[in-house]
Structure formats: structure tokens, C-alpha cells
Structure 1
Amino acid sequence: MNIGICDDLCSDLVLLEEYILLYMNTHNIDCTIYKFESGDNLLADLKYTQYDILFLDIYMQGKNGIEIARTIRNAGLECIIIFTTTSPDHALDGFEVGAVHYLIKPLNYENVQSGLARCSQIFEQSRQYIEVKSGRTILRIILKDLIFAEVYGNTLLIHTVSTVVKTYVSLDAFIKLLPAENFLRCHRSYVVNMNFIASQEGSDFVLKDGAIIPIPKKDRQLMRQKYSDYLFSRVRRRSRVY
């Protein structure tokens, strides 16, 4: 596991490295830690190193942590971001760039431990999958990569980030395999991963890949409310300050 720390205060760099190593050694996790005293140095290194977790100080000379995180996300990188900060004022900015945790300075081991435990949960969730039969083959589908599923004639088409899987399981049976907190049946023929919804426009959900998912007129208000509840729960989880 590769972990990057970016902070222009050398004392905080050293202290955070010490806490991370303590957690990793306690949990028998191998890791390599890279330390940077400027955002420019970190961004230059991203050409050569793939990171699993990045700790970014928000208040730094030059590029601040929020600007660094936006650059990282605009480059399509999906590493976990944890902010270190002296103030919780940037919680909404953190949500925008997908930060999963905040560490309020002065740093202490309990807060770092809490942030790394959350990372462990995310890694575990990223490995969750379901199995479906396609032809004579049993296929594993990673849940975080499942965009939506649709009924097409007597088959079910499962759209993922890399392929479309064809199966003959019913949509009712398929939905029972999915975690209710992320997946929404918005139509009798569709179930969608709400993490992939870009917007709701009139009677449709527009997904991040451009797909259009219809919403029956009678269910429009209910679907809008369920999606709003999902977004609110994400903001609440990500805007907690520790």
C-alpha cells in the first residue's frame, strides 16, 4: 500500500508518519510512506507513483490541499483523500473532491487511527461482489463498478464500467443481491447505482456515462426524495470532522 503525506510543516509530516506506521504495524499491513512539503512536488510524483491514500494539509504555502485534491480528481485518480486542517470550514469543498475524513490539528493518534479504520472499511467495500450466471459461466460483478441493470425482453442486462453482462435472472431476484443503501429501483425495468447518477432531469435520471434511466411519472417525486436522501447521507458521512 502506498500512502502519501503532503504538509509544509516538517513536524506534522514526521508526526503523521509516526502515527500511520504505528497503525499499520499494529494491523500487520505493509505500506510505503512518501512525504512531500509542497503540493507541486506531490503532483509531479503522481506521474510515477500510484497512491492508495493521500493525506493533504489544507493550509499550505503555494497550492493548498483543496487545489491539490481537485487536480488529482480532474486527472481521474481514485485514491482515498484525507485532509489535515486547523479548521473544519472546508467540509463542503471536501465533499466535492470525495474526501472521506478530516484530521483536526494538533494531530493525535486516536484521530489518525479513526481515519485509517475508515479507509480499511472502504477498501473492504471495494472488494464486495455478487455472482450471476451468464450462459454456462458464473461471473463476479464488483458492486462499486455496477452502474445499472435493465430488463430487455426476457433477459437482464447488467451494465458495469467495463462491460455488459447478460443473464436470465429476474430483476426482482437480482435486486435482492444488492445493498439497498446504494441501489434504487426507479422503474419496473431498471435498477440504478445512485453513485453513478449525474442529475435528475424531468422524468429521467442522467448517469455519469450519459445513459438515460426513465422514471415513471407517478413515482417521480418519490424517486427524487430517495435520491436526495442518498445525497444527504453522503454529505453527512463525509462532512464529519474528527
Structure 2
Amino acid sequence: MNIALYDGNNSELKQIKSCIRALDNYEYKLETFGDKSDLLARIHKNRKEFDIYFLSIDSDTPDGLKVAEEIRKVNLAALIIFMSQDDSQMSNVFAFHAFDYLLRPVAMEQIEISLKRARKYLGGNQAYVEFSFKREKFVLLLDEIIYVTKSGRIAYIHTKDEIYKSYLTMSEIVTKLSDGRFIRVHGSYVINLNYVTRIVRDEVFLCTFEDSSAEPKEAAISISRRFKEDFQKSIEEYRIPYK
């Protein structure tokens, strides 16, 4: 797990860092940030680099909410754990899908419990997929992926907001997406059944988006004979009408 810790209060930053470092039962990489601009620069440069963020939202460091806003613009999969002196900000963190809210003084036991839950969440049921491209690491929720297509050495992972690239082989793609919602329909395509809008003869139509503000559109993908039988079984389970 890659963890980012942000706290504008240097003494608090050292205290939380010390607590996390003392937990020797976890495999992780921890980086600390005392300046909001430094963390934001990393977020926008590497996008999905960190799995977990500890963010301070105390009265003297209110920028934690702004950091959370920027995180969610580029990363829906990361877990955000807020730290505060009181619960006055609790109602504000729901908009950022907060994973936990810790009250100061934060004890080591609190951090350990949160990290145990985080490990279970991140490792459970393949709720997300990790991959890399040119030394950049990405983490996507499975629900974000509309379909994956392979062209030459490059795999193109289509989501609602962006198309990611990877050197994953088709075998690796199928393994990573070994979830009931994904099915291979062609030698070069794996689709998410949750985005299927209709099926006409040997074509499946998926709901896609050109950008986050655009109206949904459809992408047509051919169903090859090799995968047609498995595809038909899958859509029967999903109760998708086949014309």
C-alpha cells in the first residue's frame, strides 16, 4: 500500500508519522507532506500513485478538504482518512467518500484499526484493478471500466472520463477482470456487462462518454463466434435482451 500523509502542523505530522511507522505488520510506502501545494503537485503528476490518504482538516490546516476535492478529480479508488480535533467537519467529508474520520489525539490503535479495514477493503473481491504504464501506477475501480481493447502491444482501458494505456496481455486482462460483470466478446475485447445498452445480432452496444460532461453515447463491438456461447450465458444471467 502506498500512503500519503498530509498535515500542515509539523508536530502533528511527526506524531502521526511515528504511529504509522511503528506498525511493523504492514507492507507499505509512506510519504509525508507538510505543504498542500507539494501534495497537489504529486497528485496531478502521478494521479493514482497513492492507495490511502491521511488528511488533516483541523482549524489551522483546513486545506485537507481542498486536497480531497483534487484527489477525487483524478482518483475514485483511493481511500481518504480524515483527521480532526473535533467532529465539526464530519458532515463535509461525505462528499469525498471518506473512508474514516479520526479524532485527535489520534492513537496508534485507531490508525491500526483503520489500516486493517483499508487492507481488507482494497484486497477484497477484486474491487479495483492495478496496472502501470511507463512507470506510472494506476488504480481503477472495476465499476469505472467500460471495456478494454487490445491493439498490438497496447491495451486501452476505457472509462467514463479517460482512456488508460497499459502493456497488459489479454491473458493478464482476463485474469485481472475475473469478475462476473466482465466477459470477453472478441479476441481483442473485454466488456463490462453493466454498461451494455442493447445487443443486435452479433454486435453489443455499450454506453460510453466522450468526457465527464458529455451526453452518453454508444460504442458498437462485434461478438466473435469463438466467444458467443459464453457471452449468451452471461447476458442471460444479467437478463439483458438479445435481439
> Under TM normalisation by the shorter chain, which class is it?
0.5 to 0.7
Per-residue CA distance 1:45-93 (angstroms, 9 max, x = gap): 434553222111012546521122113323x233321101122233332
- How many matched pairs? 171
TM-score by length of 1: 0.56
Aligned mate of 1:152, from 199, 202, 208: 199
Answer whether contact 1:58 1:65 (CA < 8 A) is retained: yes
Answer whether contact 2:54 2:80 (CA < 8 A) is retained: yes
Task: Name the counterpart of 1:121.
Answer: 120
Q: Give the secondary-structure state (helix, strand or coil) at the position aligned to 1:132.
A: strand
Residues 51-90 of structure 1 aligned to structure 2 (within 5 Å):
51-61=50-60, 63-74=62-73, 76-78=74-76, 79-90=78-89
TM-score by length of 2: 0.56
* Inter-partner Cα distance in structure 2 for 1:30 and 1:7: 19
Q: Give the secondary-structure state (helix, strand or coil) at the position aligned to 2:99.
A: strand
Residues 137-216 of structure 1 aligned to structure 2 (within 5 Å):
137=187, 147-154=194-201, 157=204, 159=206, 166=223, 168-170=231-233, 173-175=236-238, 189=241
Partner amino acid, structure 1, of 2:9 = L
* Inter-partner Cα distance in structure 1 for 2:52 and 2:71: 12
Task: Name the counterpart of 1:201.
Answer: none
Per-residue CA distance 1:138-165 (angstroms, 9 max, x = gap): 9766xxx765233413568474879876
Relative to structure 1, is the Cα distance of residues 132 and 94 closer, same or farther in structure 2, using a 3 angstrom cutoff?
same
Answer whether contact 1:88 1:104 (CA < 8 A) is retained: yes
Task: Name the counterpart of 2:16.
Answer: 16
Structure 2 residue runs without a partner (length 5+): 130-176, 210-218
Structure 1 residue runs without a partner (length 5+): 176-184, 191-242
Structure with the greater relative contact order (CA < 8 A, sep ≥ 6): 1 or 2?
1
Answering whether residue 103 of structure 2 is matched by residue 40 of structure 1, we say: no
Cα RMSD (Å)? 3.5
* Inter-partner Cα distance in structure 1 for 2:113 and 2:202: 44
Partner amino acid, structure 2, of 1:8 = G
Per-residue CA distance 1:160-190 (angstroms, 9 max, x = gap): 8798764532465443xxxxxxxxx8xx649
Cα offset for 1:9?
2.4
* Inter-partner Cα distance in structure 2 for 1:109 and 1:117: 12
Partner amino acid, structure 2, of 1:119 = A
* Inter-partner Cα distance in structure 1 for 2:220 and 2:86: 45
Relative to structure 1, is the Cα distance of residues 132 and 174 closer, same or farther in structure 2, using a 3 angstrom cutoff?
farther
Aligned mate of 1:134, from 182, 185, 192: 185
